[in-house]
Amino acid sequence: MIKAAGVAEVTDEDFEAEVIGSELPVLVQFTAEWCGPCRQLAPVLSAIATEEGDRLRIVQLDVDRNPGTTIAYGVLSTPTLMVFRGGEPVKSMVGARPKRRLLEELADVL
C-alpha cells in the first residue's frame, strides 16, 4: 500500500477503536497496492492531514488485507473515501480528486 505521510493505517481489528471511537471526524481511504488513483491521492491526503490535522483525522485501510470492514461498508471500488463522524459514515466519495476539490467536498463535514 502506498503510505501517505501523516496518514495512519487501520485494519479490521482496530477500525472500531480508531475510526468509530474517534473524537474527530475521520476520513478513511479504502485503498489497495495495485490502485493507481490511490497513489495519485497519497500526496493530496498527506497535505490535508498536515493542514487539517486538528479538525480531521485521515486513515487508510487496505481492502485486500481487511475484507471485513470493506464489505461492511459496501466498498466496491478504490479509492473510496468515506467520512465518519460520531461513529457513523456521513459522506462517501469514489475516485481520486485534486486537493482543492476534495477540501470543497469535505467543507460540510469539518
Q: With 90 as the cut, is the pLDDT of residue 60 above it?
A: yes
Q: Which of 35, 42, 49, 59 is catalytic?
A: 35
The whole-number pLDDT of residue 5 equals: 76
**Domain locations along the chain:** 8-109
- In degrees and rounded to multiples of 5, residue 84 shows phi and psi of -110, 135
The CATH homologous superfamily to which domain 8-109 belongs is Glutaredoxin (3.40.30.10)
- Percentage of the chain with pLDDT > 70? 97
Dihedral sign for Cα atoms in the order 107, 105, 96, 23: positive
pTM of the model: 0.95
Q: Which of 7, 26, 38, 61 is catalytic?
A: 38
Annotation marks residue 38 as catalytic? yes
Out of 1-15, 58-72, 81-95, least confident range: 1-15
Q: What are the cell numbers at 87?
A: 461513529
Q: Which residues contact 91 (CB under 8 A, 6 or more apart)?
A: 82, 83, 105, 106, 108, 109
The distance from CA 12 to its chain's CA centroid, rounded to whole angstroms, is 14
